[in-house]
Every structure is written in C-alpha cells, then in structure tokens.
Amino acid sequence: MLELENISFEVAEGGQGREILRNVSLSVPKGRLVVITGPNGGGKSTLARLIMGIEKPTGGVIRFNGQDITNMSVTERARLGIAFAFQQPVRFKGLRVLDLLRLAAGKDITPSDACDYLSAVGLCARDYINREVNASLSGGELKRIEIATVLARATKLSIFDEPEAGIDLWSFQNLIEVFQCMRSNIHDSSIVIISHQERILNIADEIVVLRGGVLSMQGPRESILPQLTGTASALQSCRRIS
C-alpha cells in the first residue's frame, strides 16, 4: 500500500544542512497496523509529515498503491485516500465541530452521523457538535476531535502522530478500541501510528524504530518489542558541560 524508498530530509540550519532523515526505506502492506517508535528527535513526526505531503523529502520516492506521490500536494494525497491526525491539533475560530466533521467526511453528514464519530472517541455529541474548535476546548478534547476527523474520512491509509498525547489514562483503552474498530470497519485499511506507548506497540503488527534519522529496526512486533522493553534508556547519556 505505502512504500518509502531511500527517503532523506535535510533542513538548512545556520547556513549548513542538517539531516533529519537518511535513506529511510520501509513498506506498509495492506491491512497492517505499523507503529513507528524511537527516541525523541529521531525523525518520526517528520516521516509522518513526509507521507502526508506536508513536507517534501530532499531525496527518495514515496509510492501509494504503486503510484509515485512524491511530488503530489497534500490535497491530492488526501483525495487518493491518506488521512492524517496531527500531534498538535489546530484550532479554528468560528468553525464548529460539526463543520469540521462534515469537511472531513466530504459530505453533508447529519448530526446523528457526527454523533457516531464523536462517541467513538469518547465524546458526547450533544455537548460538542455545535461548539467551535477554538481555545475553549481542552487539549484532550481537541485531540479526540482530531481523531474523529480521521474516522470521518474513512480512508485506506490513516496516519496518527502521537495520538496518545493529551489522552488521559482512563481514556487509553478507548483509544486502542478506536484503532481496532477502524481495522475491522474499513476493509484492507492500513494504519501508521507514531507512538512511544507500550500499549500501542502491543497492538502493532509491525514495529519500526527510528533513531537519529535512520531506520534502526523493523519487523514483526513479536521480534522487535522484546528488544525495546526492559532495555536501558534509548537516549545517549548526558555529558557534563565543561
């Protein structure tokens, strides 16, 4: 379904190029749940943004269902069937939750349809559909609404950038159920989740570890997860400032 071939991404910093990702190659087959994990600053979110087209790679090729999408815009990729849940959801003055869900669904859904998406993420629709997606919503509420927009899109490939951030312990099981439900509802759909959470790693079919911009491990959960848990900190030890 999704193939990344030698993806590199470099940014200019202080007049010099800094490599965020180097020659990353991976594939996400149909119907699989792939979790990308690794230390902070390893390039996970950048990789997710490259797949959606929010950033363009400085090298390599991205293919979706066999089609080269490397130079396609965000809109074109969205229309081909890629959905994206932001790590930090965006606020809008004036746009209501119902408006956003309608835009996501691409049609004029009824409040009761919207209710299904909201209750799936643990929100009571009556309290939310007419609220503006503005600063009056808490970080956790925004995050759930963000996930609901991806549910409303019902695409073949959904990417979640740290979906658990801002979701409290009590709602975590609900979040896991959302992913499981998506897999059973949309035939052959694949999910890519950027996450640090062991409970999310536990539901993965495959795990990809990105470290320092390079792919350090990739394989079935059964073989990768035991290597990650119970090991020493993934971070390099801190050196004293001299």
Q: Which residues lie near another protein (CB under 8 A)?
A: 52, 54, 73-75, 78-79, 83-84, 86, 89-90, 92-96, 99-100, 103-104, 106, 149, 153
Structure tokens at 190: 């694949």
In the complex with another protein, the residue whose CB is nearer, 146 or 206, is 146
Nearer to another protein, 95 or 214 (CB): 95
Spatial distance between the Cα atoms of 178 and 122, rounded to a whole number of angstroms: 10
Question: For another protein, which is the closer residue by CB, 38 or 163?
Answer: 163
The CB-of-159 to another protein minimum distance in angstroms stands at 9
Provide the minimum distance between the beta carbon of 47 and another protein in the complex, in angstroms, as a whole number. Answer: 16
Q: Which residue's CB is nearer to another protein, number 106 or number 139?
A: 106
- Residue 74 C-beta: closest distance to another protein, Å: 4
CB atoms within 10 A of CB 120: 19
Residue with tokens 């269902």: 65
Structure token pair of residue 233: 């900190």
E strands in 14-118: 16-28, 33-37, 59-64, 67-68, 82-85
Question: Least distance in Å: CB of 226 to another protein?
Answer: 35
Q: Cite the beta strand spans of the chain per DSSP E.
A: 2-13, 16-28, 33-37, 59-64, 67-68, 82-85, 157-161, 190-194, 206-211, 214-220
Q: Are strands 33-37 and 190-194 parallel, antiparallel or unpaired?
A: parallel
Beta strands at 2-13 and 16-28: parallel, antiparallel or unpaired: antiparallel
Least separation, in Å, of the C-beta of 78 and another protein? 4
- Looking at beta carbons only, is 74 or 124 nearer to another protein? 74
**Residue closer to another protein, measured from CB, 22 or 96:** 96
Report in angstroms how near the CB of residue 54 gets to another protein at its nearest: 6
